[in-house]
Amino acid sequence: MKPLRYFVALTFVAGACLTGRALYLHAKSELAGFLIRRAWQLTARSGESRPPWPWADTHPIARLLIPPLGYDEIVLEGATPRTLAFGPARLLSGAALGEPGNLELAGHRTSWFEPLQGVGLGDTIEIEWYDVRRSGLRARTYVVDDIRVVAPEDVSLLAPTSNDALTLVTCYPFGRSPRSPQRFMVRASPISLSHLARASDVAPNHLPPSRAPAS
């Protein structure tokens, strides 16, 4: 009976360790999401770039909304592997917020950009950011006019554009398959630009909790 008892005890300990690790990662993700949202709220009010925690090598730069999908996430600067673990992020090869050209955002297919599988032609996408030159929060609305699944080497939608554009990119297929040999790309064109005058537009109760990134 002793071997059986040892096996049961070992199984229990292993299960407890895995459960503890899962709870730790979830708590860590929730805390990161809270700090990122708080940093964005401060940036949206003052225009000052605020890292979400002192040692962070990124900072929130915008709010991305896709109303038909109920999507609402904070965009980080610099789409590095470390940054993408905490949210969608801007590709530095694209245009900057508020500048003419192709604004490019990337996100993981298993978390931040997983909802993109529900996007359709004609859907609206909104970007909010702080315009330093105008000292205020600005918003631009885009409409989706192109959706493609392409090979990784096809970067035609990431090329610079003379006209303003928004391009969202993630790996494909969606889900947790270990293989993602293609890229899912959404191109949208601007239809309006407005100024958000009220600080309440970025109040905490307007920002839902961020989804935890995939492990």
Global confidence as pTM? 0.80
Indicate whether 183 belongs to any domain.
Answer: yes
- Residue 195's CATH number: 2.40.260.10
**214 domain residue, yes or no:** no
* 123, 143 contact by CB (below 8 A): yes
**Digit-coded pLDDT (tens) for 118-151:** 999 999 999 999 998 878 899 999 999 999 999 9
Among residues 165, 161, 156, the alpha carbon closest in space to that of 187 is found at: 165
Residue 89: half-sphere exposure toward Cβ, Cα within 13 Å: 20
Q: Domain for residue 212, yes or no?
A: no
Which stretches within 47-146 are classed as H helix? 81-84
Q: Which helix (H) or strand (E) holds 9?
A: helix 2-46
* Ranges in the chain, pLDDT < 50: 6-26, 198-210, 212-215
Find the domain containing 11 and state its range.
2-206
Tokens in use for 52? Answer: 């979400």
Output the pLDDT for position 193: 81
Residues with Cβ < 8 Å from 83, sequence gap 6 or more? 57, 58, 76, 77, 89
* Nearest CA among 194, 193, 187, 192 for reference residue 165: 187
Q: How many domains does the chain contain in total?
A: 1
Residue 213 lies in a domain: no
Residue 87 lies in a domain: yes
pLDDT number for residue 21:
40
Predicted pLDDT of residue 28 = 55
Q: Is the peptide bond between 173 and the residue preceding it cis, with omega within 30 degrees of 0?
A: yes
Report if residue 68 sits inside a domain. Answer: yes
pLDDT one-digit tens code per residue, 29-45: 688 899 999 999 999 99
Is residue 211, in this structure, part of any structural domain at all?
A: no
